[in-house]
């Protein structure tokens, strides 16, 4: 028998390499060769774990989705257990802040999210995964608003979803203008305007 290697762990390692390449040089540059080099593997090794270049990118996007989902779900539990209204508002703020590039880790994730999401427009094999990610975020925002008793959930869900996406985009593309402090202030203002009516 061969050297025992957890194949799923390997796949995740390769996905990490994809993320680093995408972050530094863009999704175009996430070729098998570049990713293999970044992962410290031979191109043949990468292809042993992924049948296809497409499958590699698809897996990376799903990996990103999983990670985001896990992080957000932890906050959901915390938000539900909030007692005072102030505590609850703060919990919602933190929860939605997980979707913004507020610190280096989340900034990395947002950069990767933006690259994959926009690429999915013309790369049809990425569309289903990108779609699931978007819908997940959308229903999350919808639930948060509904549970907070905000009326007119349809329009407000779209408004908050698009605001968060726009903040993430500008936080990634123009970090000197859309700084973490600015993003937090905008999010706080928006939430306040929702509860005040």
Partner DNA sequence: AATAACCTAGCACGGATGTGCTAGAAAGAG
Partner DNA sequence: CTCTTTCTAGCACATCCGTGCTAGGTTATT
Footprint on this chain of DNA (rule: CB under 7 A) = 1-5, 7, 10, 29, 31-34, 41-45, 47-49, 52-54
Complex with DNA: residue 106 or 116, whichever CB lies closer:
116
Cβ closer to a second copy: 42 or 139? 139
- Are 100 and 160 a contacting pair, CB within 8 Å? no
Give the residue with the Cβ less far from DNA, 29 or 81.
29
Please choose, out of 34-42, 63-71, 82-90, 166-174, the segment that lies near a second copy by the rule CB under 8 A.
Answer: 166-174
Site for a second copy in 77-136 (CB under 8 A): 111, 114-115, 117-123, 130-131, 134
Helices (H), the chain: 7-25, 32-39, 43-49, 53-80, 85-97, 104-119, 127-147, 153-173, 180-196
For residue 189, how far is the Cα from the chain centroid?
23
Task: Give dist(CA 127, CA 118) in Å, integer.
Answer: 10
Given a second copy, DNA, none, residue 49, with its beta carbon under 5 to 8 Å by kind, binds DNA
Q: Which residue in 33, 48, 85, 189 binds a second copy (CB under 8 A)?
A: 189
Interface size with a second copy, residues (CB under 8 A): 44
Nearer to a second copy, 72 or 163 (CB): 163
Identify whether the C-beta of residue 163 lies closer than 8 Å to the C-beta of residue 178: no
Partner that binds at residue 169, options DNA, a second copy, none, CB closer than 5 to 8 Å by kind:
a second copy
Q: What whole-number distance in Å separates Cα of residue 79 and Cα of residue 40?
A: 41
3-state secondary structure 65-80: HHHHHHHHHHHHHHHH
The half-sphere exposure of 100 on its side-chain side, counting CA atoms within 13 A, is 27
Interface positions with a second copy (CB under 8 A)? 24-26, 28-29, 111, 114-115, 117-123, 130-131, 134, 138, 152, 155-156, 158-159, 161-167, 169-170, 172-174, 177-178, 182, 185-186, 189-190, 193
């Amino acid at each position: 028998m061969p050297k025992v290697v957890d194949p799923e762990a390997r796949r995740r390692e390769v996905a990490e390499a994809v993320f680093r390449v995408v972050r530094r040089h863009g999704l175009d540059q996430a070729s098998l060769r570049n990713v293999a080099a970044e992962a410290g593997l031979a191109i043949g090794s990468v292809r042993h774990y992924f049948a296809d270049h497409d499958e590699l990118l698809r897996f990376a996007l799903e990996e990103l989705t999983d990670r985001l989902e896990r992080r957000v779900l932890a906050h959901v539990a915390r938000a539900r257990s909030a007692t005072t209204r102030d505590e609850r508002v703060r919990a919602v703020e933190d929860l939605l802040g997980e979707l913004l590039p507020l610190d280096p880790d989340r900034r990395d994730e947002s950069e990767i999210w933006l690259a994959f999401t926009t690429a999915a427009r013309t790369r049809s094999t990425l569309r289903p995964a990108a779609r699931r990610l978007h819908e997940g975020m959308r229903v999350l925002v919808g639930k948060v608003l509904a549970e907070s008793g905000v009326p007119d959930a349809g329009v407000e869900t779209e408004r908050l979803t698009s605001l968060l996406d726009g903040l993430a985009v500008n936080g990634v593309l123009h970090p000197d203008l859309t700084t973490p402090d600015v993003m937090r202030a905008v999010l706080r203002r928006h939430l306040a305007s929702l509860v005040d009516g």
